[in-house]
Amino acid sequence: MRWLRTILTEIFGLFVDDGRFALAILIWLGAVWLARSRLGLAPLWAALALFAGVAGILIGSALRRCRR
């Protein structure tokens, strides 16, 4: 059964290379969803906030990776 765990780990690694990056995106997605549903944020502003946040997370992750 060790081979099954290895296969599942490799498949997971294909989609989630950096756990901090994935967690940050999920948190940002939840924050935008809450702002949209609870505060009545307009769809255009929610989309812009989602884009800006994900772009910022991506840039931050790339800069962290470059420093290593």
Q: Where are the domains of the chain?
A: 17-67
Residues 41 and 49 sit within 8 Å (Cβ to Cβ):
yes
Query: pTM of the full predicted structure?
Result: 0.73
pLDDT tens column, 9-61: 888 877 777 788 889 999 999 999 999 999 988 999 999 999 999 999 999 98
Q: Are 32 and 39 within 8 A, CB to CB? A: no
Using CA atoms, how far apart are residues 49 and 32, in angstroms rounded to an integer?
7
